[in-house]
Amino acid sequence: MSVSTVAADRSVCAPLPVLGRDVTVPLVTGGEVGYAALDYAASAPALQRVWDDVVAYAPYYGSVHRGAGYLSQLSTDLFENARRTVAEFLGCRADDQVVFTRSTTDSLNLLARALPADCRVFVFETEHHASLLPWREAQVTYLNAPRTPEQAVATLERALADRTVPIEGGHGPALVCVTGASNVTGELWPVRELAAAAHAHGARIVLDAAQLAPHHPVSVTDLDVDWVAFSGHKLYAPFGAGVLAGRADWLREAEPYLAGGGASRRVSRRTDGGVDVEWHDSAARHEAGSPNVIGAYSIASACKALTEAGFDSLVARERYLIGKVRAGLAEVPEVRVLSLFGDDAPRVGVISFVVEGWNSSHFAAALSAEYGIGVRDGLFCAHPLVRTLLGSDPQSQGECGAPEAAPGEKSLNAVRVSFGAGTPDEHVERFVTAVRELVRDGAKWRYRTEDGRCVPAV
């Protein structure tokens, strides 16, 4: 990318206003500084637009699908309109269902509960635990980490072609689960190609879009995926809601994820003392209990805000920030950026790295305590992937150990910096400067391990 292109990309849009942009935090060395929130991949700050919409609605909050009163009717309309907004945001097909859940993890566990009998599941070891672990009660094939997008497609094709035929007349049901963007490296996965491979072998595919949806447009139709899952708290809407959207048949045929009010259409006593239940076949089937209307509304608000801002502009500006961070890290020889697909792979604003001579927990603690910069350290709920990327070489322990390291275990952990639509230039510039200074001069303070975390010594 040329200098002129970078300048043009930078000007396409300003950071979207988010909560917390004026928060100051104390430094262990004295004084205060504006907090640089660079942990978007864990939880992004709420968009100001989302907060304003929630505050405006809050006085009108009422029960959903339950009451005849005005506020209940208003809240019900709001909830169902949010469902339609999310369906439009995701480019859903006309007969798809949008189910509101608690998170990506909840969404994928819901789908795992809805798998048909004898369903085979194929998942790469590179997945976040939210999409790696829910399938353990099914027949699961874990695929090795690919080193190119093409290898990912070829690996999946071989695995699907080699699966046994459990029923006469053809393959049994199968599901592929894949991320859209890695929560460790930020690299984009070849979702459309993986979907084509899955469908060519009679399998379905679910997309974990937790890290993709906040950064790039996601269309169920264009990507040709069967389901998509994401979390509100990563989409600038941290009010405890998530989404599972996609084909209705498996969801309609499965037992409700939770049994209770809202999921049932009719309940009656039997003469033998038991009860008969007729369940809804709509999204309500898997939304038992009082719906999180504020969470759903906040997701819809974020979807509208990102759509109105324009993903072309958002993507262009994020590429500028990614280039700025990667160029700064490249100037520090002691820093090694983690990658599966190589330096030229397209990615979102998620970058993980290790620093020679530093334990990552110690480095992240110093960034926070001495510079007011919030990042993540550890294995990022993607332990197999991070261990694959780090190999067997232990990091130097420094003054603090890794939170996930058990007694006698090698200290394998990394630092992750992540950013998005609300990140100002100053935050990434301060981060790059801080990395350079810490590597060159060392920490200004002493640190110790407390309850598994590296903290400033007092």
Q: Which residues are catalytic?
A: 381
Q: Is 307 helix (H, G, I), strand (E, B) or coil?
A: helix
Q: Are 351 and 418 in contact (CB under 8 A)?
A: yes
Q: Which residue has the tokens 């942990």?
A: 39
Taking the mean position of all CA atoms in its chain, how far away is CA 122? 19
Taking the mean position of all CA atoms in its chain, how far away is CA 316? 20
Backbone angles phi, psi at 254, to 5 degrees: -85, 155
Helix ranges (H only) for 310-382 are 311-330, 360-371
Q: Are 167 and 118 in contact (CB under 8 A)?
A: yes
Q: Which residue has the tokens 């379905």?
A: 204
Q: Are 40 and 349 in contact (CB under 8 A)?
A: yes
Q: Which of 161, 158, 155, 123 is nearest to 139 (CA)?
A: 123
Residue 216 CB neighbour total at 10 angstroms: 17
Question: Which residues 6+ apart lie within 8 Å of 200 measured at CB?
Answer: 157
- CA separation, residue 155 to residues 4, 147, 268 (Å): 40, 11, 50
Strand partners, 69: none
Cα 206-39-112 angle, rounded to 5 deg:
20
